[in-house]
Amino acid sequence: MKKMEQLYEGKAKKVFKTDDENLYIVDYKDDATAFNGLKKGQIAGKGVVNNKMSNFLMQIMEKNGIPTHFVEEISDRETVVKRVEIVPLEVIIRNIAAGSFSKRFGVEEGKKLNCTTLEYCLKNDDLGDQIIAIGAATKEDLDTIADLTFKVNDVLKAYFESVNIELVDFKIEFGKTPDGQIILADEISPDTCRLWDATTHEKLDKDRFRRDMGNVEEAYAEVFKRLGL
């Protein structure tokens, strides 16, 4: 496998083409941003932690019947993934109120929600129709995405519970393979999940960076350790 030209540089990752047209290489950076890039910084070692953690969790998803882009980890920061076209949606699951949900609805952070909520990045009641209307996804794709997202939540939540971590909420993204299959893409990491110690409720995720709470690297390392990595 040969790493070829860079295709894209995002806030936390770079994506490269390879000599196989159906495979890309993702390269995880230590860069961290918040508030749509207004706040910028670095979290030392984050790229390594997120690469390995995301790969570990993607493989758990695969074992539970959820198709993902994961192919092979080739270095501390680099992973081979399937080529997909990213569905332009951020899909968010919430088990416990926090972050923008708490702000929007005036619900205190930490309140367990009566039911798990699923939202897409544009927050709107008619969103399902809007997404289809603007062509971001088809009705069938959205049904698949919603089903897979709830499944991801069930598996991920149970897994984190087994290491005494509460899965408060998370954001995932999906991609479409050249043959039209919807698969889990992007990453699953403390950048994209809210993870709290189940006993102390201490935050073990990127909120420590967003909110200038300190001990950011230590929090990522703690999750890493609990997953046995």
Nearest to 169 by CA among 104, 82, 73: 104
Q: Is 169 in the site for ligand TMP (CB under 6 A)?
A: yes
Q: What residue type is assigned to position 132 of the chain?
A: I
Q: What are phi and psi of 122, to 5 degrees?
A: -85, 120
Question: Total residues at the site for ligand TMP (CB under 6 A)?
Answer: 11
Tokens matching residue 122 = 């544009």
The residue among 80 and 167 lying less far from ligand TMP, judged by its C-beta, is 167
The residue among 100 and 164 lying less far from ligand TMP, judged by its C-beta, is 100
Is 226 in a helix, a strand, or coil? Answer: helix
User: Residue 149 CA to chain centroid, in angstroms?
Assistant: 11
The residue among 4 and 8 lying less far from ligand TMP, judged by its C-beta, is 8
Residues 100-119 that bind ligand TMP (CB under 6 A): 100-101
Q: Is 171 in the site for ligand TMP (CB under 6 A)?
A: yes
The residue among 166 and 169 lying less far from ligand TMP, judged by its C-beta, is 169
Residues 6+ apart with CB under 8 A from 34: 206, 209, 210
Out of 25, 92, 148, 156, the only residue in the binding site for ligand TMP (CB under 6 A) is 92
- Least distance between ligand TMP and beta carbon 3 (Å): 26
Torsion of CA 128, 207, 220, 36, to 10 degrees: 60
CA 134/CA 211 separation, integer angstroms: 34
Sheet containing 78-82: order of strands? 3-9, 13-18, 23-28, 78-82, 70-73
Out of 84, 165, 193, 227, the only residue in the binding site for ligand TMP (CB under 6 A) is 193
Out of 194, 196, 219, 223, the only residue in the binding site for ligand TMP (CB under 6 A) is 194
Out of 67, 88, 99, 128, the only residue in the binding site for ligand TMP (CB under 6 A) is 99
Q: Is 88 in the site for ligand TMP (CB under 6 A)?
A: no
CA 53/CA 90 separation, integer angstroms: 20
The residue among 81 and 92 lying less far from ligand TMP, judged by its C-beta, is 92
- Least distance between ligand TMP and beta carbon 192 (Å): 4
The residue among 98 and 131 lying less far from ligand TMP, judged by its C-beta, is 98
3-state secondary structure labels for all residues of 82-119:
ECCEECCCCEEEEEECCHHHHHHHCCCCCCEEEEEEEE
- Least distance between ligand TMP and beta carbon 178 (Å): 26
Out of 54, 55, 68, 192, the only residue in the binding site for ligand TMP (CB under 6 A) is 192
Site residues for ligand TMP per CB under 6 A: 92, 98-101, 169-171, 192-194
